[in-house]
């Protein structure tokens, strides 16, 4: 059970909220504007020091306050005692993160609370920019290989330096070759990890989608960001004039994408709106299943207004998937009856009513 107790302060309309969630399914219901989504934001803040709706802290901190805080008792490591976790961010930019009495880095925090968000923006995964799909891939790689974060940071540093040189307009060939060698080294390692992850994800995705959406053949294809038939260093050399003109590097992992094909066509163009939501749901559920298999611990799912995103039949199927896993889930809705009759009697379901920034058990 990742989160056993939760305490949020000065997050949007939540002045001071405490509650003890279920280890499995938590349904947060209330009228629009009551604070349901703010509770999900608070949990996301606890795990990543920011909201999933807007990364700027001024939008999250309650009006009239100088900071927002989240505290929890978490059971993030199987076999170890429950430990305290606290996160504070101030409007002046200060960030404090403490776990078990020690200050920790943001990458360590993300590993403690692996969060999966499903809201209206999540369904842009197919139609949105490639950067959204890269984030999806990199979440999985980050949680499956500890070396990835250092590779990612190293690559971003080299890419930034190379782009800065390109913007200068004239580059010392010797200096450029040095940065290109580093660029290629990081790019090849990152791409190998990304490719391996997608191959691991495919069986879970296919099995999940088969239950949610039958009769459509959906295929995942990883695009590394350059034509692998040609060595990357050669492509950098051949594309130098173009890169100098544009002021940025045109090939590499920063251009990677996840291509989703339905019956041989671009899924974003081929599928209906409802079908696209099911494909994205399958991707997120499969990612959680793979995380559990690789790490022997569950994710935390933050699901905002599920009944409005999926019809009754597919909401039921979606919830059955959640029920079949060990994930801790927080699901918001306006009408709690929309999720009645879905859960098995032995599933630990806890319902909470949210009203005017306050939360109370509704069972």
Tell me whether residue 234 is in a domain. Answer: yes
349 with 219, same domain? no
Task: Write down the pLDDT at residue 1.
Answer: 57
154 with 262, same domain? yes
Task: Write down the pLDDT at residue 180.
Answer: 96
Tell me whether residue 282 is in a domain. Answer: no
Tell me whether residue 289 is in a domain. Answer: no
Write out the chain's pLDDT in tens, 363 residues: 589 999 999 999 999 999 999 999 999 999 999 999 999 999 999 999 999 998 899 999 999 999 999 999 998 676 778 999 999 999 999 999 999 999 999 999 999 999 999 999 998 899 999 999 999 999 999 999 999 999 999 999 999 999 999 998 778 889 899 999 999 999 999 999 999 999 999 999 999 999 999 888 999 999 999 999 999 999 999 999 999 999 999 999 999 999 999 999 999 999 998 999 999 999 999 999 999 999 999 999 999 998 888 888 888 889 988 988 889 999 999 998 888 888 999 999 999 999 999 999 987
149 with 175, same domain? yes
Residue 11 near residue 60, CB atoms below 8 Å: yes
CA distance 63 to 15: 10
1 with 96, same domain? yes
CA distance 132 to 137: 9
304 with 179, same domain? no
The domain spanning residue 132 has which CATH number? 1.20.1050.90
Task: Write down the pLDDT at residue 325.
Answer: 85
Tell me whether residue 68 is in a domain. Answer: yes
Q: Which residue has the tokens 């250092």?
A: 150
Task: Write down the pLDDT at residue 258.
Answer: 98
266 with 302, same domain? no
Last residue of a domain, one of 257, 272, 287: 272
Residue 255 near residue 100, CB atoms below 8 Å: no
How many Cα atoms are found within 13 Å in the side-chain-facing hemisphere of 219?
10
Task: Write down the pLDDT at residue 169.
Answer: 79
The domain spanning residue 8 has which CATH number? 3.40.50.300
107 with 135, same domain? no
Q: How many residues does the chain have?
A: 363
Total count of domains within the chain: 2
CA distance 56 to 37: 16
Helical H runs in the chain? Answer: 36-48, 106-112, 130-144, 148-168, 173-212, 232-238, 240-246, 267-270, 273-295, 306-309, 312-323
99 with 171, same domain? no
The first and second tokens of residue 288, run together, are 């959680």
CA distance 167 to 248: 7
CA distance 69 to 90: 9
- Dihedral angle over CA of 247, 250, 253, 257, nearest 10: 120
Tell me whether residue 288 is in a domain. Answer: no
CA distance 321 to 304: 17
- Dihedral angle over CA of 179, 184, 190, 191, nearest 10: 150
Q: Which residues contact 87 (CB under 8 A, 6 or more apart)?
A: 45, 46, 49, 69, 70, 71, 95, 96, 97, 109
Q: Please, what's the b/e burial string for 71-104 (b: 16 or more CB within 10 A of its CB; e: otherwise)?
A: bbbbbbeeeeebbebebbbeeeeeeebebeeeee
Give the structural domain span for 267.
128-272
Tell me whether residue 90 is in a domain. Answer: yes
The first and second tokens of residue 54, run together, are 């807007």
Tell me whether residue 281 is in a domain. Answer: no
Tell me whether residue 266 is in a domain. Answer: yes
The first and second tokens of residue 93, run together, are 């930019």
109 with 198, same domain? no
306 with 242, same domain? no
85 with 155, same domain? no
81 with 212, same domain? no
């Amino acid at each position: 059970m990742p989160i056993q107790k939760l305490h949020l302060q000065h997050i949007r309309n939540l002045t001071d909220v405490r509650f003890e969630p279920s280890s499995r399914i938590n349904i947060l219901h209330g009228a629009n504007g009551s604070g349901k989504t703010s509770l999900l934001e608070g949990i996301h803040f606890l795990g990543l020091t920011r909201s999933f709706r807007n990364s700027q802290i001024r939008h999250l901190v309650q009006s009239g306050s100088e900071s927002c805080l989240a505290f929890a008792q978490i059971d993030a490591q199987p076999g170890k005692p429950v430990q305290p976790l606290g996160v504070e961010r101030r409007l002046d930019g200060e960030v404090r993160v403490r776990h078990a009495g020690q200050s920790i880095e943001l990458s360590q925090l993300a590993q403690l609370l692996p969060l999966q968000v499903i809201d209206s923006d999540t369904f842009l995964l197919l139609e949105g920019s490639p950067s959204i799909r890269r984030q999806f891939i990199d979440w999985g790689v980050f949680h499956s290989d500890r070396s990835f974060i250092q590779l990612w940071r190293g690559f971003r540093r080299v890419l930034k330096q190379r782009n800065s040189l390109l913007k200068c307009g004239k580059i010392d060939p010797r200096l450029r070759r040095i940065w290109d060698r580093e660029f290629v080294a990081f790019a090849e390692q990152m791409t190998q990890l990304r490719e391996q992850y997608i191959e691991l994800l495919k069986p879970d995705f296919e099995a999940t989608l088969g239950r949610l959406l039958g009769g459509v053949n959906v295929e995942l294809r990883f695009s590394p960001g350059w034509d692998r038939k040609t060595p990357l260093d050669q492509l950098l050399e051949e594309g130098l004039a173009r890169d100098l003109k544009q002021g940025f590097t045109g090939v590499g992992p920063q251009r990677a994408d996840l291509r989703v094909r339905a019956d041989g066509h671009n899924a974003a163009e081929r599928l209906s709106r409802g079908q696209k939501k099911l494909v994205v749901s399958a991707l997120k559920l499969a990612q959680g299943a793979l995380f559990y298999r690789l790490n022997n611990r569950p994710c935390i799912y933050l699901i905002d207004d599920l009944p409005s995103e999926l019809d009754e039949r597919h909401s039921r199927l979606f919830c059955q998937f959640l029920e079949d896993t060990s994930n801790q889930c927080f699901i918001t809705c306006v009408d709690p009856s929309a999720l009645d009759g879905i859960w098995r009697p032995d599933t630990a379901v806890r319902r909470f009513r949210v009203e005017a920034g306050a939360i109370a058990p509704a069972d």
